[in-house]
A and B are shown apart, each in its own frame.
Chain A
Amino acid sequence: MTMWLPLLGLILGVSLGLLSDIQIPQIYSNYLSIAVLAALDTLFGGIRAHLQQIYDDKVFISGFFFNIALAAGLAFLGVHLGVDLYLAAVFAFGVRLFQNIAVIRRVLLSKWSERSKVSETKVQE
């Protein structure tokens, strides 16, 4: 039953986000996009770590919230300094996202080929 708790959280979050009637000004939309990127990055990082068997709960969960806060804070600082620091965050998270996805793909590919090899050897027997 506890397995379904994260899914329930996801559904709850999505419905909250869709139903809530909060309007944020256009200026802060950058922060939101940064937060989205950070969340995606951490998520894929977690999947990659899991596949590489170096996964750690604390790292994942702390990284999730810390990355979001850090990215938003960086964008905030950038707006107040007059430097488009949020571009740096977008760049960094984008690159890492692609790297993570590439690693996941490679790991999955190698696993799949291993499995097919095993099945082939089984067939040969």
Chain B
Amino acid sequence: MMRMAKKMSKDKKRGNYLLYSLVFLVLGFIFAFSYRTLGKDNSESAQSPTFQQEEQYRGELIAQKERNKELADEIQSKQVEIHKFEKSFSENEDNHSFLVNEAKDLRLLLGVIPAAGSGVRVTLMDGDYDPVEQNPNDYIVHESHVLRVVNELKISGAQGIAINGQRISSNSYIKCTGPVIKIDGRTFPAPFVIEAIGDSEVLSSSLNLSGGVIDGLVYENIVVTMEPMRDIRLPALRDES
């Protein structure tokens, strides 16, 4: 009887140890697990992952834009260098002056170097209107108006054109985006100042043809001013965006 009791108590003790080991297993697991998950959470993901990703993308975009700007500047300086080189070349060899002049003209057309000279400046402004009674669409400058002026200028032999300081090349596009227009991806609001280098007399008279571009624009309630200019300076084409 005594032995049985002793054995039972021994069994009980063994069972207790097993239970203790279970308790300690759970304890250790909980401690280690919370240490691993919570201790890490505080340091790393204090900010949400989407925010971090957004921040990273923004940084990359800024870096990329800066790089683009640098490269565009480099291209511009290189073009100026080439131009200088060709100039010196033409001084040396008169035979090639014709080719160099042609290259200059083509370059002006492409807009890769700054241009200066006489020409005209056309300003397109929205007409005055009462927004309550009238449809503003009939009074604001649309991209089609700008396009008409640009096309007319091109036809009449303008060597370089810029809208609000943005050089227009043969690859440029003009897009309507609501009240503003987009030129090569850059947004410009009214009024639009279109500057063109060329024979200012030819340019102004072709714009002023009766029933021509300016008449049409005035008919569509747009305030057009045109002035011949002695000295117009156009910046080089920049399309970094």
Interface residues of A (CB under 8 A from B): 2-3, 5-18, 20, 22-24, 26, 29, 32-33, 35-36, 39, 43, 57, 60-61, 64-65, 68
Contacts and interface: CB of A to CB of B under 8 A. Distances in A.
17 contacts: A6-B21, A7-B24, A13-B28, A13-B29, A13-B32, A14-B31, A14-B32, A17-B32, A17-B35, A17-B36, A20-B33, A26-B41, A32-B37, A35-B34, A36-B31, A60-B23, A68-B30
Given A16-B32, A17-B29, A57 B41 contact: no
Interface stretch (B10-18, B94-102, B161-169, B201-209): B10-18
A70 B50 CA distance: 35
Contacts of A57: 16, 19
A124 B64 CA distance: 87
Contacts, number: 99
A29 B38 contact: yes
Nearest to B19: A61
A68 B26 CA distance: 10
Contacts of A43: 27
Among B14, B21, B41: residue with most chain A CB under 10 A: B21
For chain B, which range describes its interface: under 10, 10 to 19, 20 to 34, or 35 or more residues?
20 to 34
Interface of B: 13-14, 16-38, 41, 45
Nearest to A64: B23
